[in-house]
Amino acid sequence: MQKSDYMPLPGEIMMHYPLLHPGDTVELIAPAARCSDEQLSSIKELLISWGLNCIVDPALFGKDLLCANSDVNRFTLLKNALYRPETKAIICVRGGYGSLRLIPELAQLSQPSQSKLLIGMSDITALNLYLMQQWQWPILHAALALDKFSPESIAAVKYFLFNRPSQVQLHGYPLNKAAQKSGMIQAALTGGNLCMVQTSIGTIWQMNAKNKIIFLEEINERGYRIDRMLVHLQQAGLFHDIAAIIFGDFIQGFEPNGSSLIDPVLARFAENCSIPVVQIKGLGHGPTNFPIPLGMESTLKLGISPELSFNDF
């Protein structure tokens, strides 16, 4: 087995993946955009049906130009969830836009003594990267939008909340020669939405991927924009000394004539990489969206049929 040379940064430890149990309390927050009242109600009812107590602040939604509420109110509710002793997991009801606006105030907080599982994706990548890197909190890249994702995807989130993910294997295919060679890479998994990872450059939450496996996904971005973001990450040094890249789903982003250049763009990028590049479908914004734990050690089996699995934590 090829093990990454991953060494924790000062103060950084390999994260423990917490499990929920019936009767535990979870909290719904909206640090970015808002969902509909109906969607919020359906998420709450789902969590209750799983045996969880669910906190939803009555002031979750309010007036704002772009987001679910004002920056002040969104940050206050985020802070409350971070410090509430009984809350075991924090679930973001939607991505959209706005989570990065909360980072400066978040950086002023002292780290709570109790770590919690944060569940979110897309725009929530900003919070994911900050909490994963600064507080060493575990992250579940997932969403609970019942009207958007398949029943299998929602069931997978439930499984990850209540069970060790070490029995889960996600299958993909190699995109370059380095990924076709037999072997295994054992390393921490990081990343998220491609646009948000690019946005992190130069910030206090910039993705640290040295000796790690990077996961990336995207929606509604045309081929040339995908290429531009990947090249930017490459030229900015974020791909330096990484173990491998996993592409999830890159959906929509059609050209004006209805065609798509995304697959050729990803293929060309992979061909020019000396490290393994693998694609695993069903990770991202598509109807099938399986959860993946970030910040914890994973194993990427290389070869003709690559496989991503999650180690015992």
pLDDT, tens digit, 9 for 90 and up, residues 33-79? 999 999 999 999 999 999 999 999 999 999 999 999 999 999 999 99
Q: Are residues 108 and 226 in the same domain?
A: no
Residue 209 sits at φ, ψ, to 5 deg, of: -120, 10
Q: Per the domain annotation, does 200 fall within a domain?
A: yes
Q: Could you give the residue numbers annotated as active site?
A: 122, 217, 285
Residue 313: pLDDT band with limits 50, 70, 90: low
Residue 18: the pLDDT is 87
Residue that is last in its domain, among 100, 128, 162:
162
User: What percentage of the chain has pLDDT greater than the value 90?
Assistant: 90
Average pLDDT over residues 141-169: 92
Residue 3 has pLDDT above 50, yes or no: no
Q: How is 162-230 classified by DSSP, letter by letter?
A: HS-GGG-EEE-EESSHHHHS-EEEEEEEEEEEHHHHHHTTTSTT----TTSEEEEEEES--HHHHHHHH
Which residues form the domain of 77?
A: 25-162
pLDDT, tens digit, 9 for 90 and up, residues 175-224? 999 999 999 999 999 999 999 999 999 999 999 999 999 999 999 999 99
Domain containing residue 122: CATH number:
3.40.50.10740
Residue that is last in its domain, among 131, 162, 193:
162
Token pair 């982003």 is found at: 253
Residue that is last in its domain, among 110, 127, 162:
162
Q: Are residues 193 and 277 in the same domain?
A: yes
Average pLDDT over residues 100-104: 98
**Cα 137 off chain centre by:** 13
Q: Where are the beta strands (DSSP E) in the chain?
A: 2-3, 25-29, 53-56, 87-92, 117-120, 139-141, 169-171, 173-174, 183-193, 213-219, 244-251, 277-279, 292-294, 297-302, 307-310
Greatest CA span in the chain, whole angstroms? 54
